[in-house]
Amino acid sequence: MGIQRPPHAPSHTKTLRHCGPSDTLVRAALAVAGLPPDTLTDIFAGAGLVEPAHGTMRPPDPERSRLNRSGAPVQVCLSRRTGADAPEVRILLDPFFDHAPEERHRRSLALADALVRGLGWRDAVGWCAPLVPQPLVGALWIGGRLSRGTAPFADGVALYLNAEAMAETGAPVWRAMIGALDCLLPPSADRAALLRRLTGLAHCVSLALEVAPAPHPPRVKLYLRAPADTATRLADLLAPRQAEPALAILQARAAWPASGLTLGLSFASGSGEPDGLKLDVCLCPDCRRVAGVSPGLDERLRDQIPGAAPVLDAGRLALLGTGIGGKGQRLNIYVEPAT
């Protein structure tokens, strides 16, 4: 079942005009994926990211979008899996970022519902609804894979409820996120025990639902942030040492800032138990400076990840991620539009 046209997409928007850093980055990502430059026109229009009168991307707004430091509502991810010859190209969107919170959630959920239905799931709302608990605790971001020969997002859709986007923290967010996990996953004593241990050590950043084409079950992830030493201890506790070679590429000379580490836990949809770990490292100028990251990092990533060069040329490296378990060992780079 192919991707349906998302709701609210203005039919008169034929192509995106090449104008600005976001457009440049998106076109580079599409080229690496082997797709035409207008592939995402309808998706972007349906996500409220296009100025209908001009056919250009809406300008960044750091007061409304927390997806990137600049406030740009798009980000590109390249992922290298062990043994793979080509990178996986994904794009992440902050739909309707300049709308009022209630309208932002309503429209984002409608877009998510349309994309999930496009993957063959009849009860799309059943998957998406737990990501918008009441009261609202965050913005709903949407990601998808770009692959040659398939429609955009046809290989899967990722939905992220990001609490930080609304500056929400603390116990209410934990309760909302755990409640959503309990709606999306079967009961698990191991998961419940782990989350009880983590509640006092970290705070929730985001909850993610990765929906694959039917009948493959969705995957669920919980993203946490903690003081740097706590995050490191948690990573050591929950993951084997396979993550170290990927992180060694940073060649950092000091401890990482507390705000620069995000820990992601994935859960098996069949059992509800934890089955993988992901560690994301912020590469903003402040984190690079404090940690003493080698200035040659970008060049090494160009060598390690096929297709990285044109994407890095078109944007700015924002995050480095490493994952084990779950979907296998992988190295991810996240690139934001240049400013």
Displacement of CA 140 from its chain's centroid (Å): 10
| Neighbour count for residue 60 (Cβ, 10 Å) | 23
Report the C-alpha gap between 253 and 270 in whole angstroms. 41
- What value does the mean pLDDT take over residues 10-29? 73
Q: Can you read off the two tokens belonging to residue 43?
A: 């998706």
Instruction: Considering only CA atoms, give the Rg of the chain.
Output: 19
pLDDT digits (tens, 9 = 90+) for 220-263: 999 988 765 665 566 565 554 555 556 678 877 777 777 788 88
pLDDT of residue 2: 33
Alpha carbons 25 and 16: distance in angstroms, whole number: 13
Q: Calculate mean pLDDT across residues 52-79.
A: 90
- Type of residue numbered 176: A
Span 309-321, pLDDT tens digits: 999 999 999 999 8
* Residue carrying the six token digits 């010859």: 85
State the average pLDDT over residues 108-126.
81
Per the listing, tokens 């996990």 go with: 181
pLDDT number for residue 13? 47
Cα distance between residue 327 and residue 339, in whole Å: 33
Percent of the chain with pLDDT over 90: 35
The answer on pLDDT for 49 being more than 90 is yes
Return left, alpha or beta for 326; rule: phi > 0 is left, psi -120 to 50 is alpha, else beta.
left
Of the candidates 109, 159, 124, 151, the residue with the CA atom closest to the CA atom of residue 4? 151
Identify whether the C-beta of residue 127 lies closer than 8 Å to the C-beta of residue 208: no
Tell me the pLDDT tens digit for each residue of 79-97: 988 777 788 999 999 999 9
CA distance 97 to 73: 7
What pTM did the predictor assign? Answer: 0.88
For residue 179, name the pLDDT band (cuts at 50, 70, 90).
confident
- Structure tokens given for 180: 């959503």
| Average pLDDT of every residue of the chain | 82
Six token digits for residue 75: 């980000």
Rounded distance between C-alpha atoms, residue 126 and residue 261, angstroms? 32
- Top-ranked range on mean pLDDT: pick from 65-69, 72-76, 197-201: 72-76
Residues 227/249, Cβ–Cβ less than 8 Å: no
What pLDDT, in 10s, does the model give residues 127-166? 677 766 555 666 889 999 998 888 889 888 999 988 765 5
Q: Go through 181-193 and write b for each residue having 16 or more CB atoms within 10 A of its CB, e for each that does not.
A: bbebbeebeebee
Res. 202 pLDDT band, cuts 50 70 90: confident
Instruction: Please report which confidence band the pLDDT of residue 8 belongs to, taking 50, 70 and 90 as the band edges.
Output: very low
